[in-house]
A and B are shown apart, each in its own frame.
Chain A
Amino acid sequence: MTTPTTTPVAEGLFAETAAGPRLLGSKCTTCETPYFPKAAICHNPNCNDSKLEDAEFGPHGKLWSYTVQYYPPPPPAKYDEPYKPYAIGLIDLPEGLRVLAQVSTVDPESTVGGADVELVIERLYTSPEGNEVTTFKFRQS
């Protein structure tokens, strides 16, 4: 019998740091444009000197808007069976980044647009082998 492991849904997107969970992205030091995930060059057409450095974003944000996903998403998305609706939001971070993420709530219908939210790393689903696959979410406080 193997021990269940925890694996991120994708490498290099998020990390549990000493200061808490963070999104891993980058920022152009010339024009201050933030990127998540990391970008190789600055995409701002008005920036004439692309200088990207690694940057961590979070944990605080504001829910710009949200929806509740009432039906199971088609592949390649994965979820625990039986499917339970969850909220998805657009979260504005003070760093100038608007991020798409699931909103972690007990009841997705209690989600409130404009609410303060905080980055968390939580289970997205458990694989058939028993591995817990995690992703970044924002929890409504």
Chain B
Amino acid sequence: MREVAVLGVGMHPWGKFADKSITDLSRTAVEAALKDANVAWPEIEAVSAASSRFSGGKGWGLNGNDIVEEMGSTGIPVYNLSAGCAAGGNAFNIGYTLVASGLYDKVLVFGAEKMPKGMIQTSGVEEETDPEYLRQVSVGMPGPAFWGMLCSQRMAEYGTTEEQLARIAVKAHDNAVHNEYARFRKKFTLEDVLNSNMVSYPLRLYEICPISDGAAAVVLCSAEEARKHTTDPVWVAASTVATYRYDDGIPRGLASVVPPARTHHSEAKLAVSKAFDDASLAPKDVSLVELQDNTVYYELAFPEEWGLCEPGEAESLVEKGETTPVGSLPINPSGGFLSFGEATTAMGVFQVCELAWQLRGEAGERQVPNAKVGLAQTLGLGGNGTATILKR
């Protein structure tokens, strides 16, 4: 496999844009990434796109075809990747593989969403043979209830406090104040968060991400191409995809097995572990993490599941400020999903944009000092997990 560089990144801001189409958002992100890479559209040799269930793509998730038509059809191959909320990470992985394999020198990766109003129904299938559908009709259980159950178990086991949960949301918004692409750019106090409505005990409204519109794009290229543009590229140290293990203790339908040990989010853990192996890096080498914070709970659970801290240690890292951009384990300096809102399939690409800005030292007030290695992770319906490690 060849070395692969992130040559350019670009985003449309996250928010709700009633007057713009998904193509408008996509074009803005793609044009920004091409400009950042100093590459003209006809030079792009292939597109790897996240498939959306909610917008564009001719209703078939053909979002990559939409952007090729918009930018100018040059006859290039298009890959549309579907993996629920992990689709952006999957699209990045295929884009990476296309360059690493030597098939193409310059590939565009992108993800874009215009989300419908209201709560997301995780499954789009209304049949009793669909485990998600069966769960929703017989238990009356939307997605955030999962996070609530896992979080309340953590509270029982480690004594996590509601204030510690709220502190994670406060930190997210402190970071987002300095990110021009974030949807919510105002500071939240502990009281603001603790006074927000309980959604799924013990999680409150401001401790769960809303949904947003957004788009992000990345230009990947070979080492040879990268060196024509810069002497100090941002490299892809690893890009991995995994799916969950059958003995994972989070039911995907109505039941799972009782896991042999604490086995949760196995798709994410497998992807992250393999990424560390592929990159020949260890958790201690990580300068910053962009993880999928649909809920503050993930910022406590994921670091220990991936070996970034000891079990039960995450709460004290939060309290000591170690997860802020200037701490020992910066998590989501971008402001994360909590400040952006989830534009589901665009999120894996958005994370790569933030890592690239951080590693180049272009993140302004939210800059992680001396950032050398960045880890990003997504998790999606169907038990899909992805991880990306960038380095400089």
Contact = CB atoms under 8 A, between A and B. Distances in A.
Given A36-B254, A76-B133, A88-B145, A67 B140 contact: no
Interface in B214-244: none
B76 interface: no
B246 A37 contact: no
Interface in B41-55: none
B197 A70 contact: yes
Given A97-B255, A100-B254, A45 B142 contact: no
Most buried by B among A78, A98, A113: A98
Interface residues of B, number: 42
A28 B152 CA distance: 32
Interface string A15-38: 000000000010000000111110
Interface in A82-108: 86, 88-90, 92-93, 96-102
B200 A43 contact: no
B257 A76 contact: no
A75 interface: yes
Contacts of A124: 138, 140
Contacts of B153: 64-65, 90, 113
Contact of A68 (B200, B247, B251, B255): B200
A73 B136 contact: yes
Given A36-B255, A45-B246, A99-B255, A74 B142 contact: yes
Interface in B251-288: 251, 253-259
Contacts of A10: 128, 134, 137-138
Instruction: Sort A-B residue pairs by CB-CB distance and give the 9 closest, nearest first.
Output: A67-B148, A65-B153, A68-B201, A36-B255, A77-B140, A74-B119, A65-B149, A99-B255, A113-B156
A102 to B, nearest CB: 6
Contacts of A50: none
Interface of B: 118-121, 126, 128, 133-142, 145, 148-153, 156, 197-203, 246-247, 249, 251, 253-259
A76 B136 contact: yes
A107 B186 CA distance: 37
Contacts of A67: 145, 148-149, 151-152, 200-203
Contacts of B259: 98
Given A64-B153, A67-B145, A89-B149, A102 B199 contact: no
B255 A73 contact: no
Given A71-B199, A90-B149, A96-B257, A13 B136 contact: no
Nearest to A108: B201
Given A10-B134, A65-B152, A66-B149, A33 B141 contact: no
A135 B135 CA distance: 11
Contacts of A135: 138-139
22 contacts: A10-B137, A10-B138, A13-B254, A43-B246, A44-B246, A45-B246, A65-B150, A65-B153, A67-B148, A67-B152, A67-B201, A69-B145, A70-B197, A73-B140, A74-B118, A93-B258, A96-B257, A98-B251, A99-B251, A100-B141, A100-B254, A114-B156
